[in-house]
């Protein structure tokens, strides 16, 4: 007896070969996608890229990727070069020579000579240009991505590559994209999703009515497959019960291109292979050769740019999904992220992590399913919001460029202040918070609702004027008091 072969359109021998090659050869692997129909090879190319290999695609006479497989590969955004076949042999020879030269410069610790110092400089350059700090990521992860760019450019030393980054802003953006490579899929690790459905979702849904809402945050959502998977899972679970609470899935990432892809929600057949036929027929629709989540699923998913390490977290969440981000972070950053998750979840809310991640560094979560990484927030006080830090410039004499699609620093701090829990004791106690500039100007003001445990709301213009007036009165009283104290003290010394 042999297992029957899948339908021809689902057979992907080139993807299978590329994945195997990546796992066996790591940065020695090279994949070349030549002329052919369909999209076979595109998924395997991602694995080659993830393991540090070289990716090429065949070009037409006008240097654009040929239609079919090469075009599908180029559409992933992960192809290093699109070349005519005639130029590929020399590219492979140069790549092999460069790999040998780089290995000769490896130190006794297995890292390139001067890696630590140059990696710090590289992180500062990236942070100053794009606004994201990768110094909180593990060095091994970053080094692999930096070395891959060096291999593509045939740069022999990290010091040379630092100079290339300083003189070429476009290369900084390419390195940023290299840092962001994420491997995702619909219902990735089906057993874990089944465990989430059985052990967490019933508790989140039971007792909720049509007036209630289930709030979910998918942090590091990449191109949206995981966010849509969670939405489908919750919709299925709700459909098995009476009543239909509203569902809101906040899906965030720092990759602007990935967020745009997720919002479009158009997936090739090979990208939804992990979706069962029953789910595909119920939750997807075909549009011009692509598979798209139906309106009922798309409407509950909100995709936005957001960094869980530097931006304020969401609040009052029922579920946080963050799979395969913690493993790339250094311990201090892991601690900050876990504190943010503790703050963002309501008491009894659930946390769903990746297969290689855990909550061992914090006592804020109870283990629900250790194997499938499902945890529940304990009934303990919420953590404070992580402290936001300003960018550290490599050259302090230069202005820091504004990062694209990011909030003003003052607005971020203001939103963080708005979400801090109200500490007033009585129901009739009111308070306010203001954010001042260095010269004493009130830039943002927030009014309290007066309810214990409430959240700040932005003040109206009238409330802001009253806050400014009250602050000025307080300042005048403080000055008068200081002057009176100084005059009394001066007379006392005069009598002596």
pLDDT digits (tens, 9 = 90+) for 247-284: 999 999 999 889 999 999 999 888 888 899 999 999 99
- Please tell me the predicted confidence (pLDDT) of residue 26: 77
Domain boundaries, the chain: 20-104, 116-181, 190-377, 409-477
Q: Give the chain's mean pLDDT.
A: 76
Class of domain 20-104: alpha beta
- pLDDT, one tens digit per residue, over 348-386 is 999 999 888 888 888 889 999 999 999 999 876 655 555
pTM over 0.85: no
Closest CA to 49 of 185, 178, 220: 178
- Please tell me the predicted confidence (pLDDT) of residue 385: 56
What share of the chain in percent tops pLDDT 90?
A: 26
The set of residues, in sequence order, having a beta carbon less than 8 Å from that of 329 and lying 6+ positions away, is 136, 137, 138, 309, 337
Closest CA to 442 of 457, 424, 464, 461: 464
DSSP3 helix / strand / coil % (the chain, rounded to 5) = 45, 20, 35
**Contact assessment for residue 94 and residue 81, using Cβ atoms and an 8 Å cutoff:** no
The set of residues, in sequence order, having a beta carbon less than 8 Å from that of 35 and lying 6+ positions away, is 58, 66, 68, 69, 70
In 184-314, which residue ranges form alpha helices assigned H by DSSP? 190-199, 201-205, 225-239, 256-264, 277-283, 295-298
Beta pairing partners, 250 = 217, 302
Neighbours of 460 (CB within 10 A): 11
Is the domain covering 190-377 a CATH 3.40.50.150 domain? yes
Give the pLDDT band (50/70/90) at residue 442. very low
Q: Return d(Cα 83, Cα 61) in angstroms, integer.
A: 9
Q: Return d(Cα 458, Cα 469) in angstroms, integer.
A: 17
Buried b (16+ CB within 10 A) or exposed e, 61-92: eeeebbebbbbbbbebebbbebbeeeebeebe
Cα pseudo-dihedral 99, 101, 107, 108, rounded to 10: 80
């Amino acid at each position: 007896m042999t297992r029957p072969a899948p339908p021809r359109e689902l057979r992907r021998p080139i993807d299978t070969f590329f994945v195997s090659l990546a796992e066996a050869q790591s940065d020695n692997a090279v994949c070349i996608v030549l002329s052919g129909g369909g999209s076979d090879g595109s998924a395997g190319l991602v694995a080659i890229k993830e393991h540090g290999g070289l990716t090429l695609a065949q070009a037409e006479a006008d240097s654009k990727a040929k239609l079919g497989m090469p075009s599908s590969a180029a559409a992933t955004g992960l192809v290093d070069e699109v070349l005519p076949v005639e130029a590929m042999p020399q590219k492979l020879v140069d790549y092999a020579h460069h790999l040998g030269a780089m290995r000769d410069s490896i130190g006794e610790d297995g890292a390139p000579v001067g890696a630590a110092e140059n990696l710090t400089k590289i992180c500062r350059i990236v942070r100053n240009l794009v606004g994201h700090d990768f110094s909180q990521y593990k060095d091994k992860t970053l080094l692999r991505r930096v070395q891959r760019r060096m291999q593509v450019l045939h740069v022999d030393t990290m010091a040379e590559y630092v100079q290339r980054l300083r003189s070429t802003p476009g290369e900084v953006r390419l390195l940023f994209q290299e840092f962001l490579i994420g491997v995702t899929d619909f219902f990735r690790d089906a057993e874990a999703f089944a465990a989430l459905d059985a052990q967490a979702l019933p508790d989140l849904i039971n007792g909720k009515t049509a007036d209630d809402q289930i709030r979910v945050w998918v942090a590091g959502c990449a191109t949206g497959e995981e966010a849509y998977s969670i939405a489908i899972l919750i919709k299925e679970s709700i459909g098995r019960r009476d009543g239909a609470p509203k569902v809101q899935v906040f899906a965030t990432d720092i990759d602007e291109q990935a967020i745009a892809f997720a919002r479009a929600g158009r997936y090739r057949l090979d990208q939804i292979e992990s979706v069962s036929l029953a789910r595909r027929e119920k939750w997807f629709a075909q549009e011009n050769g692509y598979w798209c989540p139906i309106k009922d699923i798309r409407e509950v998913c909100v995709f936005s740019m957001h960094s869980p390490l530097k931006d304020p977290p969401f609040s009052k969440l029922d579920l946080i999904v963050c799979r395969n981000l913690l493993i790339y972070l250094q311990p201090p950053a892991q601690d900050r992220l876990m504190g943010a998750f503790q703050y963002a979840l309501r008491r009894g809310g659930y946390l769903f992590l990746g297969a290689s991640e855990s909550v061992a560094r914090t006592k804020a979560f109870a283990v629900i399913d250790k194997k499938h990484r499902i945890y529940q927030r304990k009934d303990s006080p919420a953590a404070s919001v992580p402290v936001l830090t300003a960018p550290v410039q490599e050259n302090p004499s230069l202005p820091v460029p504004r990062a694209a699609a990011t909030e003003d620093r003052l607005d971020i701090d203001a939103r963080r202040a708005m979400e801090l829990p109200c500490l007033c004791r009585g129901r009739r106690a009111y308070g306010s918070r203001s954010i001042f500039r260095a010269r004493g100007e009130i830039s943002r003001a927030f009014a309290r609702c007066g309810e214990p445990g409430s959240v700040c709301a932005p003040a109206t213009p009238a409330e802001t004027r009253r806050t400014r007036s009250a602050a000025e009165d307080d300042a005048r009283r403080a000055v008068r008091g200081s002057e009176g104290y100084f005059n009394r003290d001066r007379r006392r010394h005069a009598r002596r």
